[in-house]
């Protein structure tokens, strides 16, 4: 009797059921049960206030489907008809469904996706895959409606997209619906439009940059209560919603961007990957692409997002770094476990993130975290100039045959060219044919020791010519990670130079360098800029004297030798040796290395040059660098060191380009004898 009276006094059905289930119920016990369940109910209500229930199923990930489909010409689509709402659920799932929804038990369970896409490279493979799927459906007791099935199709429509062998593109019917949308009158309408536009953002490069004026209106200061809105012509207008010409232009531009005939290619794990990132003062942008065998780039997906208020306060290098890290996470499924290239227009990132470098102890915590994230990927990072770092709609189209040919701006005068021994010469330079793989081979040859843009141009101008050679050299150096990492900053001030000598090998500058843990004596001629780099076992005065004796026997005795104040250079043994040979020994001021700037510059040149060459031992790399350096014209003299020292150019592999003049003379002599 007491239990029935207590149950009747409770309004909540859950509390009533709990009390009825207890056979030995007392007033005190009933009060404790009711109080505990009431407090639990209040806690659930608080959770509901800060939780957003799902009013619709989550959008299927089209990117996952694009990731799993390789370029295949045959597709099939099948919607299972008997699968909807037929799966039984256990009690725990029922309880979970009641926590945040009004529906009873499992009525809210809806199918995530009911279309099945089956592909194949040819009809046989397509039919085999189709048979496997049909058997699985049969074993599961699922049925298909024949009138809704499509087999052996060249293309199919799927989730607002059109799929074919070339790739993925948006449906025109969906795009037309977006283009017919009127201008928003409040934040809700703007959010609806941006949501529709965002569904196709992977087709639009740098979308966040174009719609920045629209996203600004989503800030809290533009939000008003629905009660304060006014109705004009049947539309609810927001007085704080500042829709001006700038927003209208961005609104119309966003519609125009969707009109481009963009095609996203299917992901292929066998093709090289390229991740190009960029950052501005208000947004991040990226495009992940495949590099085709012909060198062209085809996008897999575009992506962009706006910066938060705190991210806008980052330094520029942090914004660019944030762009790399964010898009690495975004495209993780494409990049993890594969080698890829990161392209950025911010050159400091090449030194910061390049070549798997560890984080500096002085780096910020954010940069250290980024290094840890990057360590999980296999990549190389490339710098590209702003004007070349543009991903326009042309990336999304098939390459046009012959569209990328380079043409000379003016016809080469015949008087500047001549034919000798079957070789076309322009002055002393060999003209390399346009459709020849020899151009790339020659570029790699003169770039083998990474001499830099200026010296590469000087070396190339001594042997070869074609219309766009300078542009190709610039691109080769700017896309080289080694050259970007070891690029030096210009000197802060211009120092007073030494007087230029009037003949070669009359003034020498000496210094010691440590390269790969080995001592190397650097000797440079002030007139010809000829460098001798001799690897020694130690850097004592006796060793220095032995090396100078060998050099003097080869090139002659100089008039002056310039050194700093190292112990081996101020020793009595070296001073006596130079004095006996009639050589004036000058020493620079202490703690002022710039006084011996020619030797210091030569040390840096040799160090960087050898470091860029990564194959071979130290001696081999040293000799490879010296050969390239000695035949490369210098910026100050306009001639190579070998020409100024020996009055001739020493022979290299590039001399094979030029015609054999000795053979031509022999032919002429033979003709004269016959006549």
Segment 30-56 mean pLDDT: 63
pLDDT digits (tens, 9 = 90+) for 617-673: 889 999 999 999 999 998 888 889 999 998 888 888 888 887 776 777 777 788 888
What are the Cα distances from residue 655, in Å, to 49, 227, 462, 500?
81, 85, 10, 31
List strand residue ranges (DSSP E) for 327-377, in order: 339-344
Question: Of the spans 258-267, 403-412, 496-505, which averages the highest pLDDT?
Answer: 496-505
pLDDT of residue 70: 56
Q: Report the distance separating Cα 37 and Cα 532, nearest Å.
A: 90
Instruction: Bin 55: left if φ > 0, else alpha if -120 < ψ < 50, else beta.
Output: alpha
Q: Which of 114-123, 456-465, 559-568 has the lowest mean pLDDT?
A: 114-123
Question: Of the spans 23-32, 91-100, 306-315, 575-584, which averages the highest pLDDT?
Answer: 575-584
Torsion sign across C-alpha atoms 288, 391, 73, 145: positive
- Kindly report the CATH number that applies to the domain delimited by 65-165: 3.30.70.270
pLDDT of residue 180: 76
Q: Report the distance separating Cα 585 and Cα 7, nearest Å.
A: 112
Q: Report the distance separating Cα 289 and Cα 263, nearest Å.
A: 12
Given pLDDT bands bounded at 50, 70 and 90, which one contains residue 236?
Answer: very low
Reply yes or no on whether the pLDDT at 113 is more than 80.
Answer: no
CB 76 within 8 A of CB 117: yes
Given pLDDT bands bounded at 50, 70 and 90, which one contains residue 495?
Answer: low
pLDDT digits (tens, 9 = 90+) for 129-175: 888 888 888 888 888 888 888 888 887 777 777 777 777 777 677 66
pLDDT digits (tens, 9 = 90+) for 349-396: 888 887 655 667 777 888 888 888 888 899 989 888 765 555 533 232
Q: Report the distance separating Cα 169 and Cα 160, nearest Å.
A: 9
Reply yes or no on whether the pLDDT at 227 is more than 50.
Answer: no
Question: In sequence order, what DSSP letters do the residues of 559-595 get, joined into one string?
Answer: SEEEE-S-TTTSSHHHHHHHHHTT-EEEEPPTT-GGG
pLDDT of residue 506: 93
pLDDT digits (tens, 9 = 90+) for 583-603: 999 988 877 777 888 899 999
Phi, psi of 332 (to 5 degrees): -60, -40
DSSP single-letter state for residue 620: H
Which class does domain 507-656 fall in?
Answer: alpha beta
pLDDT of residue 522: 95
pLDDT of residue 477: 85
Segment 332-348 mean pLDDT: 89
* pLDDT averaged over every residue in the chain: 76
pLDDT of residue 605: 92
Spatial neighbors of 568 by CB under 8 A, at least 6 apart, are 512, 539, 540, 541, 543, 544, 574
CB 588 within 8 A of CB 582: no
Listed residue (508, 491, 299) closest to 393, CA to CA: 299
pLDDT of residue 307: 87
Reply yes or no on whether the pLDDT at 266 is more than 90.
Answer: no
Helix (H, G, I), strand (E, B) or coil at 284: strand
Percent of the chain with pLDDT over 90: 16
How many CA atoms lie within 13 Å of 106's alpha carbon, on the beta-carbon side? Answer: 14
- Residue 319 vs residue 217, higher pLDDT: 319
Given pLDDT bands bounded at 50, 70 and 90, which one contains residue 101?
Answer: very low
Q: Report the distance separating Cα 63 and Cα 60, nearest Å.
A: 9
pLDDT of residue 100: 43
How many CA atoms lie within 13 Å of 131's alpha carbon, on the beta-carbon side? Answer: 6
Q: Which of 65-69, 428-432, 470-474, 538-542 has the lowest mean pLDDT?
A: 65-69
Predicted TM-score of the model (pTM)? 0.40
pLDDT of residue 441: 85
Q: Tell me the domain boundaries of the chain.
A: 2-50, 65-165, 172-257, 273-396, 414-485, 507-656
pLDDT of residue 521: 94
Percent of the chain with pLDDT over 70: 74
Which class does domain 273-396 fall in?
Answer: alpha beta
- Angle, to 10 degrees, between the axis of helix 469-478 and the axis of helix 453-461? 150
Instruction: Tell me whether the CATH fold assigned to 273-396 matches the one assigned to 414-485.
Output: no
Reply yes or no on whether the pLDDT at 234 is more than 80.
Answer: no
Two tokens, residue 431 = 């003209």
pLDDT of residue 270: 86
Segment 271-287 mean pLDDT: 86
Q: Which long-range contacts link 365-373 to residues 24+ away (Cβ below 8 Å)?
A: 366/318, 367/318, 367/321, 370/321, 370/324, 370/325, 373/325, 373/328, 373/329
Which class does domain 172-257 fall in?
Answer: alpha beta
Reply yes or no on whether the pLDDT at 95 is more than 60.
Answer: no
Given the candidates 1.10.340.70, 3.40.50.620, 1.10.300.10, 3.90.420.10, the CATH classification of the domain at 414-485 is 1.10.340.70
Given pLDDT bands bounded at 50, 70 and 90, which one contains residue 54?
Answer: very low
Listed residue (350, 347, 356) closest to 377, CA to CA: 356
């Amino acid at each position: 009797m007491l239990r029935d009276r207590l149950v009747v006094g409770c309004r909540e059905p859950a509390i009533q059921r709990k009390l009825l289930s207890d056979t030995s119920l007392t007033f005190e016990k009933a009060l404790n049960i009711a109080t505990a369940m009431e407090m639990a109910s209040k806690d659930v209500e608080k959770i509901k206030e800060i939780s957003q229930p799902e009013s619709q199923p989550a959008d299927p990930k089209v990117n996952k489907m694009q990731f799993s489909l390789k370029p295949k010409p045959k597709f099939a689509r099948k919607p299972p008809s008997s699968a909807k709402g037929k799966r039984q659920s256990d009690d725990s799932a029922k309880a979970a469904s009641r926590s945040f929804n009004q529906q009873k038990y499992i009525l809210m369970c809806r199918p995530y996706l009911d279309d099945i896409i089956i592909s194949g490279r040819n009809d046989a493979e397509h039919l085999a895959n189709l048979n496997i799927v049909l058997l699985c459906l049969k074993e599961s007791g699922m049925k298909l409606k024949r009138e809704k099935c499509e087999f052996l199709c060249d293309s199919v429509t799927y989730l607002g997209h059109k799929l074919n062998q070339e790739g993925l593109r948006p449906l025109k019917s969906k795009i037309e619906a977006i283009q017919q949308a009127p201008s928003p009158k409040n934040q809700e309408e703007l959010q609806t439009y941006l949501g529709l536009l965002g569904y196709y953002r992977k087709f639009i490069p740098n979308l966040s940059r174009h719609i920045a004026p629209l996203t600004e209106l989503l800030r809290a200061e533009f939000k008003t209560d629905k009660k304060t809105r006014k109705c004009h012509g049947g539309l609810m207008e927001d007085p704080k919603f500042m829709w001006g010409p700038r927003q209208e232009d961005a609104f119309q531009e966003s519609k125009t961007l969707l009109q481009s005939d963009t095609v996203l290619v299917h992901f292929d794990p066998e093709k090289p990957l390229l991740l190009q990132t960029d950052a501005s003062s208000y947004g991040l942008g990226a495009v992940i692409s495949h590099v085709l065998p012909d060198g062209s780039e085809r996008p897999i997906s575009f992506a962009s997002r706006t910066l938060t208020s705190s991210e806008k306060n980052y330094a520029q290098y942090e914004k660019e770094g944030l762009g790399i890290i964010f898009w690495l996470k975004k495209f993780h499924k494409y990049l993890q476990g594969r080698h890829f290239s990161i392209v950025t227009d911010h050159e400091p990132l090449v030194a910061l993130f390049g070549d798997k470098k560890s984080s500096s102890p002085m780096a910020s915590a954010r940069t250290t975290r980024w290094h840890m994230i990057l360590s999980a990927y296999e990549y190389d990072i490339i710098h590209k100039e702003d004007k070349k770092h543009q991903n326009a709609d042309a990336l999304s189209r098939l390459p046009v045959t012959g569209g990328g040919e380079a043409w000379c701006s003016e016809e080469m005068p015949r008087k500047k060219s001549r034919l000798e021994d079957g070789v076309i010469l322009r002055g002393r330079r060999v003209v390399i044919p346009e459709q020849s793989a020899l151009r790339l081979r020659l570029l790699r040859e003169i770039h083998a020791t990474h001499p830099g843009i200026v010296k590469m141009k000087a070396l190339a101008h001594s042997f070869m010519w074609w219309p766009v050679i300078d542009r190709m050299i610039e691109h080769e150096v700017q896309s080289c990670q080694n050259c970007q990492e070891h690029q030096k900053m210009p000197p802060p001030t211009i120092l007073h130079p030494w007087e230029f000598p009037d003949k070669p090998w009359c003034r020498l500058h000496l210094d010691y360098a440590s390269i790969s843990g080995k001592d190397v004596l650097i000797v440079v001629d002030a007139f010809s800029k000829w460098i001798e780099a001799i690897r020694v076992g130690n850097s004592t005065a006796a060793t220095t004297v032995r090396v100078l004796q060998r050099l003097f026997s080869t090139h002659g005795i100089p008039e002056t030798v310039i050194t700093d104040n190292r112990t081996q250079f101020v020793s009595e043994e070296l001073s006596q040796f130079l004095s006996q040979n009639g050589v004036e020994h000058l020493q620079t001021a202490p703690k002022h290395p710039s006084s011996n700037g020619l030797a210091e510059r030569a040390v840096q040149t040799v160090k960087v040059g050898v470091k860029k060459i990564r194959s071979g031992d130290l001696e081999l790399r040293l000799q490879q660098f010296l050969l390239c350096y000695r035949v490369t014209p210098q910026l100050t003299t306009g001639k190579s060191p070998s020409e100024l020292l020996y009055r001739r150019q020493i022979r290299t592999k590039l001399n094979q380009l030029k015609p054999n003049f000795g053979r031509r003379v022999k032919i002429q002599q033979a003709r004269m004898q016959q006549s």
